[in-house]
């Protein structure tokens, strides 16, 4: 049986989607802009990624709020229409999903062959969850290569999702009616890179957030550079390791 | 309002750095700081006390500004650097 899905089509519905998040009303443009920064950065940091996007889901309504290319939109629209797919599963189960081979994929039997037909051969999707554990949707990346993503990439995507959620919870008070200033967009990008670097350190060195921050600022001080520089070098090194 | 030590250190640091509260918030936000602008103002006035990590992020935002001005890191951190 097919369930009908109401696509979010009116501008204010996206604002309503987040109305209760912080007691404030978001403008659609603000939400889209902040998420777009996230997906663009994801696209750079995960080298095999052909496209990335963010799905927002609330009360049965589903929307691709940010995307790097049209294929992401089409593949997402297909998930919403078929009510089947890794992003919907990630949202429903609160777990990450990884597809190494779309041809061999049997978990989403109607969606996977169509996604393959659009050129998608591997993908990852993780839930988008705010700090109080409410799930807002899912964040995804896909590739035209087979087995393009490994477990570390899943963890990196989870860090992006965590950042996207915090950004959504905080961004409105600093945007104006027309949308976000360039300064804020740049700050968002810097923040997300530093957050990813902290996540990498926490994972690698098995330390907490406080210690990860201390490590980054210690390194920045010793090398007489900004902390952002240390963070972005670390992220680049992890995403594109230098062959030994 | 009677100041607490954190507030005094951060607020006098901010004034010496030449940053407005808005500018400080943006730099702190870039460092993954979690407090809103209103909360940062409360920290600086002593109405709220930041946890050690948030304190260090504000301190580092200030210290990076001091580096831009050619100084070292005058604001001490709560966590010892490794």
Q: What is the pLDDT of residues A174-206, one digit of tens each?
A: 444 445 567 777 888 899 899 999 999 998 999
Residues of B in contact with A187 (CB under 8 A): 26, 29-30
Crossing angle of helices A70-82 and A86-93, in 10° steps, is 60
Percentage of chain A surpassing pLDDT 90?
46
Q: Is A155 on the interface with B (CB under 8 A)?
A: no
Q: Which of B21, B22, B26, B30 to mutate to test the interface with A (most CBs of A within 10 A)?
A: B30
Read off φ and ψ for residue A8, nearest 5 degrees.
Answer: -80, 115
Question: Whose CA is closest to A164, among A8, A18, A10?
Answer: A18
| Dist CA B33 CA B20 (whole Å) | 17
Across chain A, what does the average pLDDT equal?
80
The pTM is what?
0.59
pLDDT band at A163 (very low <50, low <70, confident <90, very high): confident
How close B53 gets to chain A, by Cα (Å)?
6
Q: What is the pLDDT of residues A203-228, one digit of tens each?
A: 899 999 999 999 999 999 999 999 99
How close B26 gets to chain A, by Cα (Å)?
7
pLDDT band at A19 (very low <50, low <70, confident <90, very high): very low
Residues of B in contact with A195 (CB under 8 A): 32
Percentage of chain A surpassing pLDDT 70?
80
Q: What is the pLDDT of residue A131?
A: 65
Q: What is the pLDDT of residue B8?
A: 93
pLDDT band at A169 (very low <50, low <70, confident <90, very high): low
ipTM confidence score: 0.93
Domains (ranges, CATH) in chain A?
A: 11-174 (3.30.450.40), 181-244 (1.10.10.10)
pLDDT band at A129 (very low <50, low <70, confident <90, very high): confident
Q: Is A224 on the interface with B (CB under 8 A)?
A: yes
**Cβ–Cβ below 8 Å for A214 and B57:** no
Q: What is the pLDDT of residue A136?
A: 83
Strand partners, A135: A129
Q: How many alpha carbons lie under 13 Å from residue A110 in its C-beta half-sphere?
A: 10
Q: What is the pLDDT of residues A31-50, one digit of tens each?
A: 677 777 777 777 777 878 88
pLDDT band at A20 (very low <50, low <70, confident <90, very high): very low
Q: What is the pLDDT of residue A1?
A: 26
Q: Name, in order, each residue with C-beta under 8 angstroms of A11's C-beta and a sequence gap of 6 or more.
A: A28
* DSSP result, A205-218: HT--HHHHHHHHHH
> Comparing A85-94, A170-179, B22-31, which segment has the lowest mean pLDDT?
A170-179
How close A170 gets to chain B, by Cα (Å)?
7
**Cβ–Cβ below 8 Å for A210 and B32:** no
Q: Name, in order, each residue with C-beta under 8 angstroms of B66's C-beta and a sequence gap of 6 or more.
A: B16, B17, B72, B73, B74, B75
Cα A95 to its chain centre, rounded Å, is 14
pLDDT band at A244 (very low <50, low <70, confident <90, very high): low
**Total Cβ atoms within 10 A of residue B56:** 24
How close A79 gets to chain B, by Cα (Å)?
33
| Dist CA A228 CA A225 (whole Å) | 8
Res. A12: pLDDT tops 50: no
Q: What is the pLDDT of residue B57?
A: 98
Q: Is A215 on the interface with B (CB under 8 A)?
A: yes
Read off φ and ψ for residue A207, nearest 5 degrees.
Answer: -120, 165
Q: Which of A186, A213, A220, A223 to mutate to test the interface with B (most CBs of B within 10 A)?
A: A213
Residues of A in contact with B73 (CB under 8 A): 221
Q: How many CB pairs below 8 A link A and B?
A: 59
């Amino acid at each position: 049986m097919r369930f009908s899905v109401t696509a979010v089509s009116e501008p204010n519905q996206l604002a309503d989607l987040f109305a209760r998040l912080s007691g404030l009303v978001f403008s659609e443009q603000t939400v889209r802009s902040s998420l777009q920064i996230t997906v663009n950065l994801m696209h750079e940091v995960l080298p095999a990624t052909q496209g990335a996007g963010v799905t927002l889901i609330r009360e049965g309504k589903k929307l691709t709020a940010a995307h790097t290319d049209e294929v992401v939109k089409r593949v997402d629209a297909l998930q919403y229409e078929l009510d089947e797919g890794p992003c919907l599963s990630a949202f429903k189960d609160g777990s990450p999903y990884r597809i190494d081979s779309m041809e061999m994929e049997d978990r989403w039997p109607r969606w996977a062959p169509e996604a393959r037909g659009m050129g998608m051969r591997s993908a990852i999707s993780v839930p988008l969850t705010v700090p109080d554990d409410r799930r807002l949707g899912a964040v995804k990346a896909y590739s035209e290569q087979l087995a393009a993503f490994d477990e570390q990439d899943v963890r990196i995507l989870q860090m992006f999702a965590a950042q996207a959620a915090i950004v959504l919870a905080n961004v409105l008070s600093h945007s104006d009616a027309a949308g976000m200033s360039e300064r804020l967009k740049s700050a968002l990008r810097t923040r997300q890179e530093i957050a990813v670097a902290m996540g990498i350190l926490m994972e690698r060195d098995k330390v907490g957030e406080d210690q990860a921050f201390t490590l980054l600022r210690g390194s920045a001080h010793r090398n007489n550079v900004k902390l952002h520089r240390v963070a972005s070098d670390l992220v680049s090194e992890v995403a594109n390791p230098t062959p030994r | 309002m009677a100041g607490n030590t954190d507030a005094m250190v951060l607020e006098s640091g901010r004034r010496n750095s030449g940053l407005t509260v808005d500018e400080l918030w943006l730099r702190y936000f870039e460092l993954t700081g979690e407090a809103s602008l209103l909360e940062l103002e409360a920290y600086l006035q002593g109405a709220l006390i930041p946890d050690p990590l948030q304190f260090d992020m504000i301190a580092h935002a200030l210290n990076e500004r001091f580096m831009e001005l050619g100084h070292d890191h005058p604001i001490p951190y709560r966590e010892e650097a490794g």
